Structure formats: C-alpha cells, structure tokens
C-alpha cells in the first residue's frame, strides 16, 4: 500500500502537534499540563486476555523477519543496512508527525559517538501509547520506499503494528514488541515498543509511572521532555535523563569502559576500532551535521 490520502491526514495531525509545541514553549505554560491535552487516557481499555504471538522471528536469526530473507547479512553488510534502517525510520516518523526516541543499547551507542555500535545487529526505539494508536489507525502495513545513495533501485521498508498492542499488560509475554520497521530487502528490523502509563503503579499514587510490555518501567520525568540530538547523522530524540537511564540499565561502567566486544574506543577519532583486525572501522563519519556531546566529559574520567 502506498501513502496517499492518509499522508495528508498525518500532515494535519502533525500541525496540531506543532501548535501544541508552540504553546509548550510559552514560559508561563507548564509542560506536563500541555502534554496531557494530547495524551489520551487509554487505561482500562483493551482486551482482558493476551493473544497468540504475532511477530515471528526467522529460524536463522532472531533479528530477521523470515518472510523477507533466508539468511542473515554478512558482517560487512550489516552496519550500512542498520544505518539506513534507523535513518529511514526516523525520517518516516518525522514525516508522519509521530514522536519517537531511541532507548536501550541504541541510546548507549548514541552516548558514545552518535553511531550504531559496529558489533550491534539491533536497534531499539520507543513511541508513546497515543502514537501507536495513531500508527495503527493510519499506517499499519504501509510500505515506504527510499532512494539510497549508491544503491540501484533503493529500498522498501514496511511498518507493521502488532494487533496485540491493545492488550496493555506485561502478562502478554508473547507480544512485548508493539510494532516493527522492516527492511524488506534483507528482513532486518527495528523493534518498536510503546511506553504506556503504568496503571498498577499509578493506582498507588505514582502519577508519572510508565511501563512497556517488555518489562521496563520508567518515570515520565526520565523520558520527557525529549532532547534533540543526532544519530547516524540524522536528527533524533533522546530521553531527558539519558545518563540515569543508561546507568540503571547497564551500570556506570558502560559510560566509561573503552574496551568492549573486541573493540577499543579511540577518543581522538571517536570511532570504535576493531581490536582483533587492528584496523579502523570502515564506516566513515560525515563531516556535516555532527552532533556535539552534551554529557560533560567528567563521566569518562571518574
């Protein structure tokens, strides 16, 4: 399915958000009160029984969709495919007016040099609950084609929404991933998880409690307001308290240790060099649009 009229709707939807953004920048306006106008309350809605597992992983690798491939990409092919996967995702979400941000290992990679780790083969992103409803309503199974420099014919990506996203509890262990952005040329995909109000914890008076079906819990102030940065030379949003979130999930070592998975972080070039091959990563940095690290370097000297 190609985008047509729904694209216009998204555009109008985006405008509504843009107006909201203006209001939020007004110094007299409390950020959370403005946000809540746009955040529909979905608590208590949805079925009471979890469904069967919806997304299938390929038999050859858990990060590939077997409908589109029979084998994983080579080590050399993987990084450029991942890079275009996240760029096309971010670009599409921006076009749709759908707010998204990076999390988990992808956030850690961003912290170091705003690049995917050379040894990684997955990318984690999050969206809010109203956004997954929006994507379900207008964009499930939409295909998005991109021209890619140096690649004949470009590539097509598919946005697929798990119908079980409406089941809002962590009990649904088979459907913890709410949506996927899939590279139909290789089967490689991005896991998209929806961050939702945590009804249980909110009942106990924890008004900012958030959760994902994959078991992660957050506080609204850890994630919002999102910060603007770049990842893979592309505009991206990151959670407000990224250092706290990374230290909680990976330990403070993860922000200081410059040796990892047979790689060494070169503080001059800001590249993870492969130790065993004794050669620099073949992925070159673009000189334009490079983000500036916002975390004080003292985190690396502790």
Ligand X SMILES: *[C@@H]1O[C@H](CO)[C@@H](O)[C@H](O)[C@H]1NC(C)=O
Where along the sequence are the contacts to ligand X (CB under 6 A)? Answer: 41, 43-44, 136, 140-141, 161, 163
Give the Cβ contact number of residue 176 at 10 Å.
18
Rank residues 43 and 274 by Cβ distance to ligand X and give the closer one: 43
Q: How far is the CB of 41 from ligand X (least distance, A)?
A: 4
Shortest Å, Cβ 58 to ligand X: 18
Question: CA dist 206 to 58, 169, 198, 219, Å?
Answer: 40, 17, 9, 9
Strands (E), the chain: 100-102, 124-128, 142-148, 151-161, 179-183, 189-197, 209-211, 217-219, 227-231, 234-238, 259-260, 263-266, 271-274
C-alpha 294: how far from chain center: 19
Rg (CA), the chain: 20
* Residue 162: CB minimum distance to ligand X, A: 6
52 vs 268 by CB, closer to ligand X = 52
Distances (CA, A) of 28 to 18, 179, 221: 18, 37, 19
What phi and psi values does residue 16 have, to the nearest 5 degrees? Answer: -60, -45
The nearer residue to ligand X, 43 or 58, going by C-beta atoms, is 43
Q: Which is nearer to ligand X, 44 or 215 (CB)?
A: 44
Q: Specify the residue, 50 or 235, whose C-beta has the smaller distance to ligand X.
A: 50
To the nearest whole angstrom, how small is the minimum distance from the Cβ of residue 74 to ligand X? 31
Shortest distance, CB of residue 111 to ligand X, whole angstroms? 32
Residue nearest to ligand X (CB): 163
Give min distance, CB of 180 to ligand X, in A: 11
Residue nearer to ligand X on the CB measure, 57 or 233: 57
d(CA 129, CA 21): 18
Quick one: DSSP state of residue 64?
B
């Amino acid at each position: 399915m190609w985008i047509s009229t729904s694209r216009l709707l998204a555009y109008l939807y985006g405008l509504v958000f843009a107006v909201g953004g203006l209001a939020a920048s007004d110094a007299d306006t409390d950020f959370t009160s403005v946000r809540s106008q746009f955040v529909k309350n979905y608590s208590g809605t949805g079925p009471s029984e979890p469904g069967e597992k919806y997304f299938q992983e390929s038999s050859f690798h858990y990060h590939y969709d077997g409908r589109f491939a029979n084998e994983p990409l080579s080590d050399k092919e993987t990084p450029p495919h991942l890079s275009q996967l996240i760029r096309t995702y971010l670009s599409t979400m921006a076009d749709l007016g759908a707010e998204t941000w990076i999390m988990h290992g992808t956030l850690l990679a961003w912290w170091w040099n705003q690049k995917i780790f050379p040894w990684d083969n997955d990318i984690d992103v999050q969206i809010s609950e109203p956004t997954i409803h929006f994507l379900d309503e207008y964009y499930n199974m939409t295909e998005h084609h991109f021209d890619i420099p140096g690649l004949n014919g470009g590539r097509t990506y598919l946005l697929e929404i798990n119908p079980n996203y409406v089941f809002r509890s962590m009990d649904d262990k088979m459907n913890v991933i709410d949506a996927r952005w899939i590279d139909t040329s290789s089967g490689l995909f991005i896991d998209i998880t929806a961050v939702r109000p945590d009804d249980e914890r909110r009942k106990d008076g924890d008004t900012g409690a958030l959760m994902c079906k994959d078991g992660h819990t957050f506080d609204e102030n850890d994630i919002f307001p999102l910060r603007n940065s770049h990842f893979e030379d592309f505009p991206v949003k990151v959670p407000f308290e990224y250092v706290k979130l990374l230290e909680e999930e990976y330990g403070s070592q993860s922000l200081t240790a410059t040796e990892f998975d047979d790689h060494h972080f070169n503080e001059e070039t800001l590249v993870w060099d492969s130790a065993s091959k004794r050669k620099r990563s073949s992925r070159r940095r673009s000189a334009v649009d490079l983000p500036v690290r916002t975390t004080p370097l003292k985190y690396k000297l502790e």
